[in-house]
Amino acid sequence: MSKLRFSSLILIFSFMASPIMPEAIRLIDTATAQEEKKKKPKTRRSQVLSKAAFNQITSAQEALSEGNHETAMNILLNMMKSDRYNSYEKGVAQQTYAYVWADKGDYSRALVEFERALNLGVLPEQVQLDLTYNLAQLSIAEDKPKQALRYLNRWFSQVEEPSASAYGLKAQIYLIMDNLKQAEKNVTKAISMSESPKEAWYRILLSVYLQQERYKESLPILELVVDRFPGKKAFWQQLSAVYQELGKEQKAFAAQQAMHSQDMLTTSKELVRIAQLYLYNDFPYKAARILDKGLKDGSIKKTSKNWELLATAWMHSREWKKSRSPLLKAASKSKSGKLYAQLGQAYIQDEDWKNAEKYLIKAVDKGKLEKRESNTYLVLGITQARLGKYEKAIKTFRKAGDFDDTAKDAFKWIRSLERQLAEKAREEKEKQKAG
């Protein structure tokens, strides 16, 4: 498989670099504190909010939970401007103010406000640690991977035992920066540390492998993830592509079948592709059923090529009558007479010579038969002979005689028909004499 074709498959994994969701930002305060073992900080007297500050912060949080962002902001801005509150209380207000922007989905502004909260230096050590991690996440969301890495490295320097999630985040940043070596190193670490590695980590590792065309190494990972995450279409697509790349065509086909059985193939292109694979692997009836259903319910585009494919599938299934309707639809849309020629052949299979002649004539009239032209004239001549139209058949055979590949057979038919016509004429004369 060429790099150009395979690059489209790698795009499946590109969403690892997509912006983080607000939920991820809100949850980091508790999740990180529980997962990481922080280096022992310098002793600092714990601070608490005054009753007035606590009430204001609570009111702002309640407004935020109800989606009243402006109300929450006004409460917090008033706190930060007031001389009534100390630096710590204003720091908590600033931190909460940043969360409001994050909840609004304005990550750019949230990034600025979280930086201000961190730079105040008045919040507890654990909170500052969590803010640093949040800033790394927000920097990714704002397409600032270098800044994200700086914040995350600062965070790593402050914890003794970073979690698997932290290594996964670092791997994501390195992947965005196209530093595949470091991305692989960190995501491998994340996976090895976890009993249940996250789906995103496998995506990062696969992206590294596939960008470097390390298909053999990617294969066991793909076989693992389709078992662990069976409902993920992207993994099945990638597995099928890698099997194909490694020459394992039957396994590639099996992966496509698995997707089809799980109703993952929904687009016209996907459904036509699986039908083609069934046809190629000698399951024409299955191909025909997929195409017939898709063309009827609209999930497959009603193009000349798709009608032709359905007709081909029915013909390979020896369902000649079922092939006629799609062939006629395909032929009417086609610029050449080739499909009318096939339709004529389909009627010949049932010895329906009248309809066979009708569509073979349409074929030669429409033209653009190319390599089929000589054989179409020959078959039309045979059809006319079967109908007893000897004079027309001889004229048609003479046209077939203009082609090297059919000339010999055409002239045999002409001689045979001329003998029959001569015999018929002789019999008519004898009858007239006897009469």
- Per residue in 239-279, pLDDT tens? 999 999 999 999 999 999 999 999 999 999 999 999 999 99
Identify the weakest region by mean pLDDT among 11-15, 152-156, 228-232, 405-409.
11-15
Helices (H), 367-434: 373-386, 390-400, 404-434
Question: In sequence order, which residues have a C-beta less than 8 Å from that of residue 412 and are 6 or more positions away?
Answer: none
Q: Residue 49: how many CA atoms within 13 Å on its side-chain side?
A: 15
Helices (H), 194-232: 199-211, 215-228
The pLDDT of residue 10 is above 70: no
330-370 residue pLDDT tens: 888 888 888 898 889 888 988 899 999 999 999 999 888 88
Place of tokens 């029915």: 314
- Please tell me the predicted confidence (pLDDT) of residue 423: 83
Helix then strand count (H, E) for the chain reads 23, 2
The full set of domain ranges for the chain reads 213-264
Q: Give the model's confidence band at 39: pLDDT under 50 very low, under 70 low, under 90 confident, else very high.
A: low
Helix (H, G, I), strand (E, B) or coil at 37: strand
The pLDDT of residue 77 is above 80: yes
Q: What is the mean pLDDT of the chain?
A: 87
Q: What is the pTM of this model?
A: 0.74
- Please tell me the predicted confidence (pLDDT) of residue 111: 94
- Please tell me the predicted confidence (pLDDT) of residue 35: 55
User: What is d(CA 25, CA 111) in angstroms, rounded to the nearest whole number?
Assistant: 11
The pLDDT of residue 45 is above 80: no
Phi, psi torsion values for 232, nearest 5 degrees: -95, 105
Please state, for a pLDDT cut of 70, what percent of the chain lies above it.
89
- Please tell me the predicted confidence (pLDDT) of residue 320: 87
The pLDDT of residue 162 is above 80: yes
Largest Cα–Cα separation, the chain: 136
83-113 residue pLDDT tens: 999 999 999 999 999 999 999 999 999 999 9
The pLDDT of residue 305 is above 80: yes
- Please tell me the predicted confidence (pLDDT) of residue 183: 97
Question: In sequence order, which residues have a C-beta less than 8 Å from that of residue 108 and are 6 or more positions away?
Answer: 142
Run of H or E residues at 160: strand 159-161
- Please tell me the predicted confidence (pLDDT) of residue 1: 40
- Please tell me the predicted confidence (pLDDT) of residue 293: 96
